[in-house]
Structure 1
Amino acid sequence: MDRLNSKLEKWLPEQRLFLRSDDTTRFVRLRPLTQIAGIGGVTVVFGWTLVASSFLVIDAVSSGNSRDQIVRSQVAFEERLNQLQSERDARAAEALAAQNRFSVALDQVSQMQSQLLASEERRRELEGGLDAVRTSLRDTIAERDDALRLAEAQTDETATDRTTEVSTALDILTGELRSASVERQEAVKAAEEAQLAAEELRVERAEIIARNDEILTQLEDAVTVSVAPLDDVFRSVGMNPDSVLRTIRAGYSGQGGPLTPMSYSTRGNAALSEGETKARQIVVTLDQMNTYRIAIEKLPLAMPIFQSFRYTSPFGRRWGRMHEGVDMAGPVGTPIHATGDGVVTHAGRSGAYGNLIKIEHELGTETRYAHLSRINVKVGQRVSQGDTIGAMGNTGRSTGSHLHYEVRMNGRAVDPMSFIKAAENVQ
């Protein structure tokens, strides 16, 4: 050590720090190695301060950017979801209108067929009448010939009148047959046109059903994708999503209203049945997403401090003992906010916690806010997410002004950072 100090004295000469009192004078030697150790320590502390500050700044900037991106993505998704719902309603209205037009066309075809059958029946009747007239005419001619042979005394004028009457009857029957044939042709043409219109309506209806099915598929995919992040939120905080859904549905299970008889359609349609099945599946998924949102509103998914602060101690073991929360340091008097809806179960002094507030939330969660300088709530008071409940302080076992924030599930302390990160994902 002496040799090393002697070599270093060329660059760092020995320094002496004199301590003088009334009757004595003492001094402290600062050898070169001691000076190097001091300079190195100062350099390490200064460097560590720079690195830590840069990490905090980068983390703050990145978290702000990711939060804005999540908000923009959620807004875009909700706009797309509303657009798909509007398109689905429009396609459903078009399908209903097409079905109504198809029903009207079928009724017209039925009427045309009825008219065609009536015309055919009338034609048969006229043909039968014509056959009867022809038979009667043959009989009349035969009688005439017999009468001519048997009664030559009869005059030619009487026979001519008989023939004229028969010819007139034949002309009338021929006109009726011609009119019936024209009506039959018109009825057949109208029926063919009605069948073509019905076929066009069938094609249009099939296209509308296909578009409606495509929209339902897109809507189903969209709501399915939107449920996955909500499911991950509950898993990230250590909760079973199925258990959460059962609990929420048990609390929101009211039903009622008068029941009317169900009407059944006589026309079966497989495409409509498939569309109804997809629509019901979408309703089920939307109900699941809505149930998730209700559960999220009941969890403490928010920040307790809105102003600037610094994380000074994480959740976990610290100095050989368990630290059951996170510490957020800031100026004395910084407002503290409730991170979720709940009821205040404690508001006062509590040993090492100092001034402590406990809030009981639903789904078995509880939050604690310790070392406060001021308490603004009372036991039994119901608070909402974001309400100001107190102010940051330095009470209890504390080395400086900060907030000790805890989250407990069913009485067991969990890492509050999982709830804070989950809050960033659902904003």
Structure 2
Amino acid sequence: MLTRFAYRIHHQLEHYLPEQRLFLKSDTDTRFIRLRSSTQALALVAGTLALAWTIVATALIMMDSIGAGSSREQSARQQAMYETRLNDLSADRDLRAEEAARAQERFNTALAQVSDMQERLLASEDRRRELETGIDVIQNTLRRTIKERDEARAEADRAVLALNEQVGGATEMGRAADTVATLEILTGALGETAEERDAMQTEVAAARQETEAVVAEKRDLELRNDAIFTKLEEAVTISMEPLDNMFREAGMSPEDLLDTVRKGYSGQGGPLTPISVSTSGGGLSAEEARANEILGGLDRMNLYRIAAFKTPFAMPLKDSFRWTSGFGYRKDPKGYGTRMHEGTDMAGAYGTPVYATADGVIVHAGWDNGYGRLVKIKHEFGIETRYGHLSQIRVEVGQRVSRGDRIGDMGNSGRSTGTHLHYEVRLSGEAVNPMTFIKAGKNVF
């Protein structure tokens, strides 16, 4: 039955596709290749399938190109918005630093004025003390003069009595003249002493008024400085909180990160120099310590900015994509049970640009069995990122890259079921969830 059915099929094929012979002639003999009807039918079917596949693939590529155009425009807009936001943040940070520098200049000027006022106050106080001492001396001199006058009067009375006893008495007119002369001398001395005392009291009152004016001016200056410091402290606190939260949400200690950055940039120092002036020659005053705290906060913000660019908070893709597999245990896409997936998968168009998510150095750029074409970037703080299944690698080992540099193109190389990017973040050699860093960065960038 099967033989008869096959014969009928062969007979029908010979009717439409008769047997052909292809002759091959050489110098010595002639040979031919016989093309049976079934062989011609298979070749015709294969050619038809190839043509159909070419048409379908061309249509799919054209559709992807049309979709990719709009996706690129959307990604370009998102990138422009991201860069604008980053530039605004940098401009705000620079403005805060400039305000702090101006505040420091104003504080130094105010500090010099306060120092001058203190010197004037001390000079006024010394003058007042000198005047008080002079008044005390004048009063003591006046008391001593009055005492000497009384003693002189008593001595004169005794002399007059003795003279009267010896000469038989003096005229009343002579004694009156002596008394008048003595009183005139004493009255003149007392008048001069009183005038000098009044002049010193006037100078003391003027010195007290000048001292009170200096104290009031110093108090107003301290109030203005306190208002400036309060605004700067609020600005630093508001700017610092999201940065602290970003690193803590990423599972990293902000203090350890800042210590590492500070050690790496110890040769350059901070952007502003702390105040170390002291008018008394001792420790820092409360205003100076407060200014140093503000400058320390600004330096901390600058260190945060450096650490943020060295930590993978950015996205590896800027074009449109779809999340296809997250971090954690999942069913193996090749059907080999449940296994740990140490990264996150992002599916997009073939050849989609892949970018570095932080500053670092390329430590691997080549083929790796499971990953296919793989790029590894070593960052600061013991962080490493991996970009797998690439179609093309655009960097070399040892090359230093910055955040946003293009390192390769999305592909389907290695152990993969379709075009996508396998993105990993490793902390001290241990794989962690990349979404932790991506979500933490979105709160700031």
If the length of structure 1 is used for normalisation, what is the TM-score?
0.67
Q: In structure 2, what is the Cα distance between the partners aligned to 1:341 and 1:65?
A: 21
> Could you list the runs of 5+ residues in structure 2 that have no partner in the other structure?
1-11, 17-68, 270-276, 334-340
* Offset, 1:311: 0.8
Q: In structure 2, what is the Cα distance between the partners aligned to 1:63 and 1:103?
A: 59
Give the count of matched residue pairs.
Answer: 369
1:219 aligns with 2:232: yes
| 1:325 paired residue among 344, 348, 366 | 344
In the TM superposition, what are the counterparts of 1:362-381 in structure 2 within 5 Å? Answer: 362-381=380-399
Counterpart of 1:200 in structure 2 is 213
> CA 1:91–1:250 in structure 2 vs 1: closer, same or farther (change >3 Å)?
closer
Counterpart of 1:239 in structure 2 is 252
Deviations 1:405-427 (A, max 9, x none): 33333334444454345445444
| 2:319 paired residue among 288, 309, 317 | 309
Q: In structure 2, what is the Cα distance between the partners aligned to 1:386 and 1:55?
A: 18
1:299 aligns with 2:299: no
* Offset, 1:229: 0.8
Q: In structure 2, what is the Cα distance between the partners aligned to 1:326 and 1:219?
A: 44
> CA 1:266–1:118 in structure 2 vs 1: closer, same or farther (change >3 Å)?
farther
Counterpart of 2:56 in structure 1 is none
In the TM superposition, what are the counterparts of 1:154-233 in structure 2 within 5 Å? Answer: 160=174, 167-233=180-246
- 2:346 partner letter: D
Question: SS at 2:321's partner residue?
Answer: strand
* Offset, 1:337: 3.9
| Range 339-348 or range 132-141, more displaced | 132-141
| Range 111-120 or range 313-322, more displaced | 313-322
Check the 8 A contact 2:342/2:433 in 1, yes or no.
no
1:143 aligns with 2:177: no
Check the 8 A contact 2:342/2:424 in 1, yes or no.
no
- 1:203 partner letter: A
Q: In structure 1, what is the Cα distance between the partners aligned to 2:394 and 2:193?
A: 98
Q: In structure 2, what is the Cα distance between the partners aligned to 1:91 and 1:172?
A: 61
* Offset, 1:119: 3.6
Check the 8 A contact 1:338/1:388 in 2, yes or no.
yes
Question: SS at 1:310's partner residue?
Answer: coil
* Offset, 1:181: 1.2
Q: CA RMSD in A?
A: 4.7
In the TM superposition, what are the counterparts of 1:231-270 in structure 2 within 5 Å? Answer: 231-245=244-258, 248=261, 265=280
Q: In structure 2, what is the Cα distance between the partners aligned to 1:124 and 1:315?
A: 101
* Offset, 1:54: 10
> CA 1:185–1:228 in structure 2 vs 1: closer, same or farther (change >3 Å)?
same
| 1:343 paired residue among 351, 355, 361 | 361
Q: In structure 1, what is the Cα distance between the partners aligned to 2:283 and 2:310?
A: 45
Check the 8 A contact 1:299/1:361 in 2, yes or no.
yes
* Offset, 1:22: 8.9
* Offset, 1:188: 1.3
> CA 1:400–1:22 in structure 2 vs 1: closer, same or farther (change >3 Å)?
farther
Q: In structure 2, what is the Cα distance between the partners aligned to 1:242 and 1:61?
A: 35
* Offset, 1:383: 3.3
- 2:249 partner letter: S
